Amino acid sequence: MPVGTLASVKGVPQHLLEELGVQILLGNTYHLYLRPGHQAIRDLGGLHRFMAWKRAILTDSGGFQVFSLNELRKVSENGVEFRSHLDGSSHLFTPERSMEIQIALGADIIMAFDECTEYPAERERVRESMERTLRWARRSKDYFEAHRHEVPWAEERQATQSLFGIVQGGMHPELRRESAERTVEIGFPGYAIGGLSVGEPRELTREIIASTLPLLPKDKPRYVMGVGYPDEIAEYAAMGVDMMDCVLPTRAARHGLLFTSAGRMNIKNARYARDPEPPDPNCGCMVCSRYSRAYLRHLFVSGESLAAVLNTIHNLAHYLDTMRSVRHAIRAGESQRNRVIG
């Protein structure tokens, strides 16, 4: 899932995202609440209509901002008090508030309000945080079920709109287990593993995913939040992860880092100044089939906004291709198995 925090995948218009084959976008509760405001979006017919995107949308609950806005927030049992990064004003996010906003945005998948625990953290601190996330999950679900119909588009969306729970528990497998089991107990149509990619070694990320995944129902979507590099997402998918989101392809693109079949490529490097090759000769995307490294480098070092646009398109294409090949492999594997079984 490409990340479009502010109802926009920075630099890439929706029709191009469709052309790239993007099926679902991620938006953010906290940001859209601050601007333009969830009421405005609701009044404009919901986030899909507002941003002219007919395909699926998932909204994050604001839980990650509990982590990322570390300096600007205060966590209590009731919720989190944020100081807006835009103007410094104070805002209280509770599970109920997060649900209210997300219902008003009207995404297809909305996320329970959680606390993304920082790393490193003392075991007790992680446990406390995990317990709070569980209580918030309960409250999120209760509010969602009681109020999900209070939007103009409730009927058409009712059958499909769903609330996902989020597993926390830091880097402690036992806490992850407990979090997973109790989240499943609450019952959601899909489950996320949160609290990863917060600065821990990549090896740890994989271990936690590996140990947590089997604890989540196989017949429900399993979503790892905030990962990863191309090789990582393929690996996680192979482990059984169904969904992932990450700002990496888009942010890195804006910073001049391209992901290619040969690995990372810092397109701003001087060595590409006279390189007529496409960024990735093995990539069939609309950027690689048309532009050279030399041109992309020129755009980047010149500060042309087209650089961000083209780099982002390529990186998204690369990520989407990666996932497409994962799907093909899965299908091939299934037919292989069916053949064996059949």
Query: Which residues are the active-site residues?
Result: 60, 245
3-class secondary structure, 88: coil
- Separation between Cα atoms, residue 80 and residue 78, nearest integer Å: 7
Q: Is 251 in the site for RNA (CB under 7 A)?
A: yes
Q: Is 254 in the site for RNA (CB under 7 A)?
A: yes
Report, in Å, the least distance between residue 314 CB and RNA: 14
Report, in Å, the least distance between residue 59 CB and RNA: 9
Q: Is 95 in the site for RNA (CB under 7 A)?
A: no
Query: Whose Cβ is closer to RNA: residue 60's or residue 321's?
Result: 60
Tell me which of 225, 288, 310, 313 binds RNA, using CB under 7 A. 225
Tell me which of 247, 286, 294, 306 binds RNA, using CB under 7 A. 247
Stretch that binds RNA, among 35-43, 45-53, 253-261, 324-332 (CB under 7 A): 253-261
Query: Both ends of the chain: CA-CA distance in Å?
Result: 35
Q: Is 311 in the site for RNA (CB under 7 A)?
A: no
Q: Is 28 in the site for RNA (CB under 7 A)?
A: yes
Q: Is 191 in the site for RNA (CB under 7 A)?
A: no
Q: Is 194 in the site for RNA (CB under 7 A)?
A: yes
Query: Whose Cβ is closer to RNA: residue 161's or residue 205's?
Result: 205
Q: What is the largest CA-CA distance in the chain?
A: 63
The CB density around residue 51, as the number of other CB atoms within 10 Å, is 19
Report, in Å, the least distance between residue 90 CB and RNA: 14
Q: Is 61 in the site for RNA (CB under 7 A)?
A: yes
| H-helix or E-strand spanning residue 92 | strand 90-93
HSE (side-chain half, CA atoms, 13 Å) at 207: 10
Q: Of 126-165, which residues contact RNA (CB under 7 A)?
A: none
Query: Whose Cβ is closer to RNA: residue 265's or residue 283's?
Result: 265
Q: How far is CA 268 from CA 255, 274, 327, in A?
A: 9, 12, 33
Judge contact between 192 and 169, C-beta under 8 A. Answer: no
Report, in Å, the least distance between residue 112 CB and RNA: 7
Q: Which residue has the tokens 């604890």?
A: 215
- Separation between Cα atoms, residue 32 and residue 72, nearest integer Å: 17
Q: Is 325 in the site for RNA (CB under 7 A)?
A: no
Hey, CA dihedral for 125, 129, 134, 136, is it positive or negative? Answer: positive
Q: How far is CA 159 from CA 112, 148, 156, 162, 232, in A?
A: 18, 11, 7, 8, 33
Q: Is 256 in the site for RNA (CB under 7 A)?
A: yes
- Separation between Cα atoms, residue 247 and residue 309, nearest integer Å: 15
Query: Whose Cβ is closer to RNA: residue 87's or residue 155's?
Result: 87
Judge contact between 74 and 132, C-beta under 8 A. Answer: no
- Separation between Cα atoms, residue 59 and residue 103, nearest integer Å: 10
Q: Is 46 in the site for RNA (CB under 7 A)?
A: no
Q: How is the beta sheet containing 73-75 ordered, strand by strand?
A: 73-75, 80-83, 90-93
Query: Whose Cβ is closer to RNA: residue 156's or residue 203's?
Result: 203
Tell me which of 238, 273, 329, 332 binds RNA, using CB under 7 A. 273
Interface residues with RNA (CB under 7 A) are 3-5, 9-10, 26, 28, 31, 60-61, 63-65, 67-72, 85, 111, 114, 116, 166, 168, 192, 194-198, 202, 225-229, 232, 245-248, 250-252, 254-257, 264, 266, 268-271, 273, 301, 303, 305, 308
